[in-house]
Structure 1
Amino acid sequence: MVKCLYVEICIICILIMVLLISNVKKKFTIMFADRLFLSILWTATGLFISDGAWILIEGLNFIGAKAIHNCLNLIYFTLTGTIGLLWLIYTDYKINQDEDRLKRRLKWYALPFGVLLVLILSSPWTGWIFSLSRDNIYHGGRCHAMQMLIAFVYLFWAAILALVAVKRTEKRYLRSEYLTLASFIILPLAGGIVQGKIHGFPLIWVGTAISILIVFVNTQNQQITKDGLTGINNRRYLNCYLDTRLNNKRRKKKLFFILMDIDSFKEINDTYGHIEGDVAIIRIAGILKEVCCGSNDFLARYGGDEFAIVCERDDCQEVENLVQEIASIVTFSNEAGDMKYDVWLSIGYAEYGEAGIVNQDQLISMADKRLYTIKNNRKMQGR
């Protein structure tokens, strides 16, 4: 009965991993982070298969049963260390987004795993990690705890990297992502503690499977709500957020919608190329992130070279101050002269409730109209 339940739990974990693998592989473009995550999924799948298989073969005495049992244990313990190492590598890359840096650190990351691998591969002869009795029954060796200890060292290491990153960044969307990475260890650790009290159930791996699923869901949510080029909120999320704010009847301040557009963006693309156009968009997004950092203002890429901010202020003067702050930082950035061209913004805004504005479309339309009035005036003045 216990064996059946153990195997059923492993099968459920395997099915979760297969489902996630299928979803990741459906992506149009598989980036380096996706490949790392796929490696974690495949490793977890192999781990769950070997964990479910060894309990079925334990105690059987047909020809070759002991050899198969040895192989399953070798695979299982190797993958236990591997999944910890891969999680650390994945966390490092998600935080730093630097393949070269990761390659330089890889040899240090792999050292504990190298020690563990020697202990595992020698176990059929030394019994350091595990041994099998004559009747094909598994026994833990004197260094048995090393395999789980090293796996958790990697998870703790990754959690520390993520928590340090949380402390260093002021960007809320990154904080959320890093906290998800840092909390990965919680469920496997809780499962391990409970498993120590209740033997016969793979609770560590149940916790691991759920943690992987949480990371996947969080990543999917990021991709649904974030703009791929700039990392800020996308238009789809903007529309949802704005709709929510407009329906909030307990709002204490006035709601404003600010729309911004890069001047002469087509000329930048035509003169310097579309890659340089992307650089200009990223540059403006960086400035707007700096302005909105630490506030409750909602920043999004509206589309193309347009950006939007949804904010609450006491009056129009406070919005004017925000607009002037953005313009000042853009001017300072241009004066720094670190690019081949200057980038300027035309900015228009509207207040919800003014001039009969009663819905999202009217609010955006009014801000858009004012933006293009400013843009046309600049063109007439030769700016």
Structure 2
Amino acid sequence: MDLFSYIETNVFCIVVLVVLLVALRTSLSRLTNQTILTHVFLMIIAMLVLDTVKAALNGVAFPGSDVFTCIMASIFHVISVMLYFQWLRFVGYNMQLRFWRDRRMMSLFALPGVVAIALVAGSIKFGWVWSVDENNVISHGPYYLLFVACCSVYMVFACILAGYRIPIKRYFADRVLYISLALFGLLPLLGLCCECTPSSPPYSVYAMVIAALFVFLEMQSRMISTDPLTKLNNRNQLNSFLDSKIGQYTENRKVYLFVLDLDKFKGINDNFGHSEGDSALNMVADVLKRVCGPLGCFISRFGGDEFNLVAFLANDAEADALRTSIKEDLARTSASLPYSLTVSIGYARSLGRKESVMDLFSRADEALFAEKKARE
């Protein structure tokens, strides 16, 4: 690739990322995953800018060029380490894993990055990762592969975390998200394999741009169709799904609509705070994913403390069994909480195209109110 094409490609990638960054800052809710992804985009942009300057000045000697190039290379490699580490955090957050909040675990994960940054620092004097000759040409140092290995730890671990969930049935609804998260780890690794010399195009960074675009598009899609707190489907998705399935039933596969409502939820917010209320909602969402996900059910948060479930069951006995399973799992999961976390559940079996979605909701709501009244 000639210098002009090299720089042109870098500039194009920078423009794409800037557009994504602007869209990210203006269209998504102010959530933690947005903040981390913003940092990722900014780091990739910084790496592309530094690489563009390095390519333009490579082999061009001028007073102080060796110091200038050394500073640029140091910043470039430090940012790359921070980028890979941030991506691991992003994967952990989106998969709702707890390790990224555990300081002890994150300190352990930071060790490869500390080694990599130490190698960068040593390169300034000893040329461990890179060196600059009298003609201002950069070449790889003897520990370059060790540096790459330290960075690759984060990409490999991100691939494993996201990749192992892809074939699991209970995570089917989030499969596209996990594929995009795994690709962000896999594609840069493949790009690193193509960077044979310091003058090679930054294929790993280009791969990050492609993966970042994929992740951004998936996040945009999920924001349209997903409840931002619980990551379940939202009301619009429920209505669309139910409308498409309401007439699809056979002798052993009937459409059941479940309506779930948290008992005394206002008391949780009033006595323990809204943050604890959000945690309670997430706990219910996790129970529904765990119990109903393997059955191929459609799970959604309707709003407030109400959830909905569309299940394909043979008869009311199976519906009663599913309702019992949800309540028992929630009881076990919430046993250590300082308050009682229970749900009331009503359901109705679809009559097919003989009734509207609204009518089906009304019958399920009536069953819900009947259960609540029976428990008073």
Provide TM-score, normalisation by structure 2: 0.81
CA contact 2:255–2:350 (8 Å) conserved in 1: yes
Give 1:372's aligned residue.
Answer: 366
Taking a change above 3 Å as real, the CA distance of residues 141 and 368 of structure 1, as seen in their structure-2 partners, is same
Task: Label 1:89 to 1:256 Cα distance change in 2 as closer, same or farther (>3 A).
Answer: closer
**Is 2:334–2:340's contact at 8 Å kept on the other side of the alignment?**
no
The amino acid that maps onto 1:17 is L
- Any residues of structure 2 matched to 1:285-324 within 5 Å, and which? 285-323=285-323
Alignment of 1:28-107 (within 5 A): 30-95=30-95, 96-97=97-98, 100-101=101-102, 103-107=103-107
In the TM superposition, residue 108 of structure 1 has moved relative to its aligned partner by 2.8
Q: Deviations over 1:103-133 (max 9, x none)?
A: 2233333333333333323434323222223
Q: Give the Cα–Cα distance (whole angstroms) in 1 for the partners of residues 62 and 54 of structure 2.
A: 14
State the match for 1:345 in structure 2: 344
| Cα distance in 2 for residues equivalent to 1:323 and 1:33 | 33
Between 45-54 and 56-65, report the one with greater CA deviation. Answer: 56-65
Shift of 1:291: 3.2
With 227-236 and 88-97 compared, the bigger mean Cα shift is at 88-97
Q: Is contact 1:58–1:138 with CA below 8 Å preserved after alignment?
A: yes
Matched AA of 1:353: G
CA separation in 1, counterparts of 2:138 and 2:276? 62
Percent sequence identity over aligned pairs: 25
Q: Distance in 2 between matches of 1:270 and 1:128?
A: 59
Provide closer, same or farther for how the CA distance between residues 97 and 218 of structure 1 changes in structure 2, counting only shifts above 3 A: farther
Alpha-carbon spacing, 1:217–1:141, altered in 2? closer, same or farther (3 Å): same
The CA distance in 2 between the partners of 1:127 and 1:267, in whole Å, is 63
**Are residues 63 and 366 of structure 1, via their aligned partners in 2, closer, same or farther at CA, if it must alter by over 3 Å?**
same
Seen in structure 2, the aligned counterparts of structure 1 residues 71 and 269 have a Cα distance that, compared at 3 Å, is closer
Q: Which residue in 2 is equivalent to 1:127?
A: 127
**Partner Cα separation in structure 1 for residue 251 and residue 206 of structure 2:** 43
Give the conservation status (yes or no) of the 8 Å contact 1:91–1:181: yes
Answer whether contact 2:249 2:255 (CA < 8 A) is retained. Answer: no
Aligned counterparts of 2:160 and 2:340: Cα–Cα separation in 1? 41
C-alpha distance in structure 1 between counterparts of 2:155 and 2:363, whole Å: 52
Contact 1:80 1:148 in 2 (8 A): no
Gap change, CA 1:98 and 1:220, over 3 Å in 2: farther
- Which structure 1 residue ranges, 5 or more long, are not aligned? none
The equivalent residue for 2:9 is 9
CA offset at residue 284 of structure 1? Answer: 4.1
2:77 maps to a residue whose letter is F
Query: C-alpha distance in 2, partners of 1:79/1:309?
Result: 45
* Structure 1 SS opposite 2:295: coil
CA distances 1:197-245 after superposition (whole Å, capped 9, x unpaired): 9x74332221121112222333333333332333322112212322343
Cα shift readout 1:273-307 (whole Å, capped 9, x = no counterpart):
76665565445444433431311111111222322
Of stretches 80-89 and 319-328 in structure 1, the one that deviates more from structure 2 is 319-328
Residue 185 of structure 1 corresponds to 185
Question: Which of the pair has more CA radius of gyration?
Answer: 1
Asked if the contact 1:259–1:368 (Cα under 8 Å) also holds between the matched residues in 2, the reply is no
CA distance 1:349–1:193, change in 2 (3 Å): same
Quick one: structure 1 residues 272 and 205, their matched pair in 2 at CA, closer, same or farther if it must change by over 3 Å? closer
**Partner deviation per Cα, 1:135-190 (whole Å, 9 max, x = no partner):** 22222222233333322232113323444677999444456544433332222233
Q: Which residue of 1 aligns with 2:204?
A: 204
* Contact 2:269-2:276 at 8 Å conserved across structures: yes
**Letter of the structure 1 residue corresponding to residue 110 of structure 2:** A
Deviation at 1:378, TM superposition (A): 5.6
Note if contact 1:131-1:140 (Cα within 8 Å) is conserved in structure 2.
Answer: yes
Contact 2:323–2:345 (CA under 8 A) maintained in structure 1: no
Aligned residues: 374
Instruction: Output aligned runs, 1:230-249, within 5 Å.
Output: 230-246=230-246
Q: Relative to structure 2, which stretch is displaced further, 266-275 or 37-46?
A: 266-275
- Tell me if structure 2 keeps the 8 A contact 1:169–1:175: no
Contact 1:263/1:346, CA 8 A, preserved across alignment: no
Deviations 1:229-264 (A, max 9, x none): 333221122123223435879998333333334456
| The 10-residue stretch of structure 1 (73-82 or 263-272) with the greater mean CA deviation from structure 2 | 263-272
